[in-house]
Amino acid sequence: MQIIQELPSDPGHQCVLALGNFDGVHLGHQRLLKSGLEQAAQKGVDLAVLLFEPHPLKLLFPERVLGFLTTQKEQMRLFSEIGVDRVYLVPFTKEMADTSPEGFVRDILVKLGVIHIVVGFNYSFGALGKGTAEDLQRYGQDYGFGVSVLQPQTFEGKVISSTAVRKALLNGDAVQAKKLLGRTYKLVGTVVEGERRGHDLGYPTANLRIYEELIIPKRGVYAVWAEIEGRLVHGMMNIGMKPTFHEEYALTVEIHFFDFSGDLYGMELAICCEEKIRDERKFNGFDELKGQLERDALKTKQVLEEIFGNPVQAVNAH
């Protein structure tokens, strides 16, 4: 898959273009991209995706915490896996934010050589998001490209959306998030130095510094796994403020791996969140916490064994 970080000066190669933010590349996004692939195959051209860097909301509302569902690296991997041929990762500027809907079509989309566009029903574009999917169809008639507008995909009667995935994660419902994404949600970050309190409790942990404003699920203990040195490793993750030991403290993400020992400092890890075991709570001292950790570990192992079976096998964590 080719990643192009600027708009071409002329249309060049024709393409079918998928438009959207694609945060999470959830099942709804996947359906849209597959529709684009079908159009591209019929017309004998590439499927391309247009994205902006930084995310438009980061430029327009810099104070807002966005809570992304994928890192850019993971997003690109998913696009490639689905079959996207090209991603235009174009710088988003104030001037671009002020572009009218028709200017967006004329000065950006036409330059990409689009012959057909696929969008979701709620797609908006141009200054203040005034352009709608229906407007895009009208401009397509003027500028010579077709437009397919996909209606929402639902799961259990509810629309699949990035907002719905975020809501599930903020409620601690990793199982629901997995159903909407079509895969396990990943928290990605670098292992950094911690307080080493887990070591004293008999549950040494990897302290994770989370990347790229990824959304962090509700505080509590989760059954998780990761690929470490080519091997799938089970573990339990705690997201919280360590209320047993601190009145006020920064949020931490710590993972205890059941079947791995080694130096993880500085390593990038993608932690796959399968299921929440319990909420965060404050304990009456060291011994009570240690007893709860033993129960958490037992329950976590049971959850993961139901998903994977007893043997821990070397598999690809994608």
Regarding whether 52 and 166 lie in a shared domain, the answer is: no
In this model, does residue 163 exceed pLDDT 70? yes
pLDDT digits (tens, 9 = 90+) for 114-148: 999 999 999 999 888 899 999 999 999 999 999 99
Note down the domain range covering 291: 160-307
Q: What is the pLDDT of residue 317?
A: 36
Q: What is the pLDDT of residue 195?
A: 63
**Per residue, what are the HEC states of 196-214?**
CHHHHCCCCCEEEEECCCE
Q: What is the pLDDT of residue 56?
A: 82
**Whole-Å CA distances, 242 to 24, 237, 250, 282:** 29, 13, 9, 8
Regarding whether 115 and 212 lie in a shared domain, the answer is: no
Residue 317 lies in a domain: no
Regarding whether 266 and 186 lie in a shared domain, the answer is: yes
In this model, does residue 248 exceed pLDDT 70? no
Regarding whether 177 and 117 lie in a shared domain, the answer is: no
Residue 236 lies in a domain: yes
pLDDT digits (tens, 9 = 90+) for 185-206: 999 999 998 665 555 455 778 9
Regarding whether 79 and 17 lie in a shared domain, the answer is: yes
Give the separation between CA 207 and CA 47, rounded to whole angstroms. Answer: 40
Q: Which of 96, 118, 150 is the last residue of a domain?
A: 150
Regarding whether 234 and 164 lie in a shared domain, the answer is: yes
Mean pLDDT score, 5-20:
87
**Number of folded domains that form the chain:** 2
Kindly indicate the confidence band of residue 57, based on its pLDDT and cuts at 50, 70 and 90: confident
In this model, does residue 98 exceed pLDDT 60? yes
Is there a contact between 207 and 237 (Cβ–Cβ < 8 Å)?
no
pTM (global) more than 0.85:
yes
Q: Which of 97, 130, 150 is the last residue of a domain?
A: 150
Residue 12 lies in a domain: yes
**Whole-Å CA distances, 218 to 212, 221, 249:** 18, 9, 16
Question: What single DSSP character describes residue 282?
Answer: -
The distance of Cα 146 from the centroid of its chain, to the nearest Å, equals: 29
Give the separation between CA 6 and CA 251, rounded to whole angstroms. Answer: 38
Is there a contact between 277 and 236 (Cβ–Cβ < 8 Å)?
yes
Regarding whether 97 and 45 lie in a shared domain, the answer is: yes
Mean pLDDT score, 294-301:
92
Regarding whether 171 and 129 lie in a shared domain, the answer is: no
The distance of Cα 161 from the centroid of its chain, to the nearest Å, equals: 12
Q: Which of 115, 150, 185 is the last residue of a domain?
A: 150
Regarding whether 192 and 134 lie in a shared domain, the answer is: no
Mean pLDDT score, 244-260:
76
Mean pLDDT score, 146-160:
92
Is there a contact between 303 and 223 (Cβ–Cβ < 8 Å)?
yes
Residue 99 lies in a domain: yes
Regarding whether 108 and 183 lie in a shared domain, the answer is: no
Mean pLDDT score, 284-293:
76
In this model, does residue 316 exceed pLDDT 50? no
Q: What is the pLDDT of residue 311?
A: 46
Closest CA to 117 of 130, 127, 105: 105
Regarding whether 212 and 74 lie in a shared domain, the answer is: no
Residue 316 lies in a domain: no
CATH number for the domain spanning 294: value is 2.40.30.30
Kindly indicate the confidence band of residue 64, based on its pLDDT and cuts at 50, 70 and 90: confident
Regarding whether 195 and 54 lie in a shared domain, the answer is: no
